[in-house]
Amino acid sequence: MFKPHVTVACLVHAEDKFLVVEETINGKALWNQPAGHLEADETLAQAARRELWEETGIDAAPQQFIRMHQWIAPDRTPFLRFLFVIELDEMCATEPHDSDIDRCLWVTAQEILEAPNLRSPLVAESVRSYFSGPRLPLEIIGEFNWPFTEGVNDGGA
């Protein structure tokens, strides 16, 4: 059975800049959007908000959905990555709570598109999607019987 990793990412935008998180992987400082895996018993929007807070210290809910990318990483790991947008009125201070994050940076779209140190090509693709694709309401991603009810957990109808 095919079991892709389900991840969420937040494209945070303010004052013509985007927020990236920098983490050191194999001795290299790499940029990513605040992103991570969907955890058990949380919705996609809840996961995006949690990841944003863990990696940046910003407590903000996703405002719109941009796109779901189906991607296979170079190591052959399959992913479904749900991309959300968060528009802030102004750039704000950050304080990562995740020890894997070295720092957060506010950078231009062009800096991301030209960066040689992206964690994956999806980082730049997310910026391109922000400018080219539709922004959809969060209601496009629905939860059914949420939070889980006893009937769902017991396999009942």
CATH number at residue 21: 3.90.79.10
User: In the predicted model, is pLDDT for residue 76 greater than 60?
Assistant: yes
**Residue 141: exposure state from Cβ atoms within 10 A (0-12, 13-18, ≥19):** middle
Q: pLDDT at residue 113 above 80?
A: yes
Question: What global pTM score does this model have?
Answer: 0.90
Q: What are the tens digits of pLDDT across the range 1-26?
A: 889 999 999 999 999 999 999 999 99
Domain that holds residue 9: 5-153
99-111 core/surface letters (b: 16 or more CB in 10 A; e: else): eebeebebeebee
Mean pLDDT of 61-67: 97
Name which residue leads in pLDDT, 151 or 57. 57
Give me the number of domains the chain comprises: 1
Q: What's residue 157's pLDDT?
A: 47
Banded pLDDT at 146 (limits 50, 70, 90): confident
Could you read off the pLDDT of 18-51 as tens digits, one per residue?
A: 999 999 999 999 999 999 999 988 999 999 999 9
Computed from CA positions of residues 76, 128, 116, 86, in that sequence, does the dihedral angle turn out positive or negative? Answer: negative
Evaluate if residue 105 carries a pLDDT over 80: yes
Bridge partners, 106 (sequence order): 19
The closest of 60, 31, 33, 26 to 46, measured between CA atoms, is 60
